A and B are shown apart, each in its own frame.
Chain A
Amino acid sequence: MSEKVLMKGNEAIAEAAIMAGCRHYFGYPITPQTEIAAYMSKRMPKVGGVFLQAESEIAAINMVIGVSATGKRVMTSSSSPGISLKSEGLSYLAGCDLPALVVNIQRGGPGLGGIQPAQSDYWQAVRAAGHGDFRRIVLAPASVQEMVELTFKGFDLADKYRMTTLILADGTMGQMMEPVSLDMGEVTATEKSWALTGTKEARKPNIVNSLYLQPENLEKMNRERYERYQKVEENEVMFEQYLMDDAEICLVAFGVTARVSKNAVDIARQNGVKAGMIRPVTLWPFPKAALRKAAEKVKAFVSVELSMGQMIEDVELAIRCQKPVLLCSRAGGMITTPDDVLAKINEANEIGG
């Protein structure tokens, strides 16, 4: 294994993308993700790649569409307000079945909001960004090492399923430094016979398109696409369980809040409360089965989020509201402390009887 280096989350994502064979990056400066663009501007020319600061987030995502249509790996990154602007392009990527990697280093919202960390783009990530029926793969790293691994894997998933992979992290994750191993192994090559590479007058033109004026055809396309999404749900769910074997209270948290929650679980257990945690790594597909299974055993759930409560709805859906689900929330750029979580664990313990 290669020597570990100390890297900022944002820079680790950028380097992992380069390792994954991404040679095209388009972006626009916005705090707290700007280090990704800065890193790419330094590295891309040295690896024969393209870094371009676009005139807008909208232009950046459309440049991504252009490169992806030619069959190459490509990415963009932004922070919350910028992702809103990219929403149109995210829908076109889905409608054209183009793979791409998009990173959202979240900050507090709505509107211009703030620049401190948040997880309030959960709904946007798993549901809302872009019009129409479609899904995207959403990966939520909880360490800088995972930012590397999930970026690398994110490109593979995007190519495999011809989907957008969204890395959903937050300002803390982007700014913090941790030791990382950059040993990722071989890049998976994917055949892309659909790509626009010029016909060479040897084949029929390839067309990348999301327009289907006949509703029958559009419905058919959507159904085919959802069959593919079904495979993603069957094969690609990722989550981590922490002390769940005998847990009576199940925390559900992703990203940085999962780190805070882990501390809270440890303290709760020292206090004699059997807490555990399920940490979704894929926010879509959501680890529904694992939660449903946990619901058979635990007394109550606590959804820990840096938002006013978004993922909690997916937790309730997953467990069909069989058990109480409490919300432990900070918002607007404020961070949950282990004490906050501990208080909710105790509250859940009492409700659960």
Chain B
Amino acid sequence: MVVFEKPKALTDAVLSYCPGCTHGIIHRLVAEAIDELGIRGDTIGVAPVGCSVLAYNFFNVDMIQAAHGRAPAVATGIKRSDPSKIVFTYQGDGDLAAIGTAETVHAAARGENIVVIFVNNAIYGMTGGQLAPTSLPGMVTQTSPYGRDVENAGYPMKVCELLQNVDGAAYLERIAVNDIKNINKAKKAILKAFKNQVEGKGFSLVEVLSTCPTNWGLTPVKSLDWLRENMIPYYPLGVYKDKYAEKEESK
């Protein structure tokens, strides 16, 4: 008999996310990876500022809450203090790709042996739906009421593509959690990122295309459709970098 159980790496706290939000799925995938690798007792997580600010209540591991955008720097300190710990950050698009761009790029450049889970839903959720660095061109938000005008607000940040050219980054993959097939791929990618860290392979970032039904103004199901129809074409899924796979191939 298969019993559907909550991963041990999640606490019993009730998730505070909106109905239909995919943060819950992503939390679960991260927790499953931690459980599968048997690293719960040695894992330290870093929560961001944004919708997942309360992640410290949900992961059943030692947690710290970082200032907006600074999670990779905090994670660097933790990892440098005790390299035997498994350290991950869990960040949204505003946190990682706007206010924390420098921290993200430089943690990658240093090849910090950490995992970054980057949840991209193209909008600022917690503050009520403003323009994000990853909001699509033409996308209507509270602070782009006429749609994202790239002449004014500039173009969206493609984080995996940006970090591809950073020598220190070991593993970059963009995934989505819009259907079972993609969720399975996401699970593998997140597991691989943590495994990389256990094996000392360096900086791994998994970008997860995610939904925000509340601020997109769509039902949860329509949000999944919107993600597939609009986000995936702009942010193509796939492995953007796998330093060690490349090395294998070149042998």
Contact = CB atoms under 8 A, between A and B. Distances in A.
A58 B102 CA distance: 10
Interface in A56-81: 56, 58-60, 62-70, 72, 74
Interface in A81-104: 88-89, 92, 96
A205 interface: yes
A65 B44 CA distance: 14
B77 interface: yes
B102 A55 contact: yes
Interface string B41-71: 1111010000001101101111111110010
**Majority-rule SS of B interface residues:** helix
B74 interface: yes
Contacts of B62: 196-199, 205-207
A217 to B, nearest CB: 14
Interface in A177-225: 196-202, 205-211
B102 A56 contact: yes
A62 B77 contact: yes
A200 B41 contact: yes
B73 to A, nearest CB: 4
Residue among A26, A56, A88, A198 with the highest chain B CB neighbour number at 10 A: A198
A54 interface: yes
A70 B66 contact: no
Contacts of A89: 67, 70
Contacts of B74: 62-63, 65-66, 69
Nearest to B66: A62
B82 interface: yes
A153 interface: no
A66 B83 CA distance: 12
A213 B183 CA distance: 32
Nearest to A49: B80
Nearest to A88: B67
A244 interface: no
B73 A58 contact: yes
Contacts of A201: 40-41
Contacts of B76: 52, 59, 62-63, 66
A67 B67 contact: no
A59 B41 contact: no
Contacts, number: 134
Interface in B153-176: none
A211 B126 CA distance: 14
A288 interface: no
A232 interface: no
Contact of B63 (A52, A92, A207): A207
B28 interface: no
A318 interface: no
B66 to A, nearest CB: 7
Nearest to B71: A62
A62 B63 contact: no
A24 B70 contact: no
A69 B73 contact: no
Given A54-B73, A198-B41, A67 B56 contact: no
A243 interface: no
A13 to B, nearest CB: 20
Interface in B28-48: 40-44, 46
22 contacts: A55-B105, A55-B106, A59-B76, A65-B74, A65-B77, A66-B46, A66-B76, A67-B81, A69-B74, A70-B77, A70-B81, A88-B67, A92-B66, A197-B82, A201-B40, A202-B41, A205-B60, A205-B62, A205-B63, A207-B64, A208-B64, A210-B65
Interface of A: 24, 26, 50, 52, 54-56, 58-60, 62-70, 72, 74, 88-89, 92, 96, 196-202, 205-211
Q: Which 5 A-B pairs have the closest CB atoms?
A: A66-B77, A62-B73, A55-B106, A63-B77, A196-B62
Given A24-B80, A88-B67, 17 more contacts: A52-B110, A54-B73, A59-B102, A59-B103, A62-B70, A62-B77, A65-B66, A66-B46, A69-B77, A74-B77, A198-B43, A199-B41, A205-B11, A206-B63, A208-B63, A209-B64, A211-B54
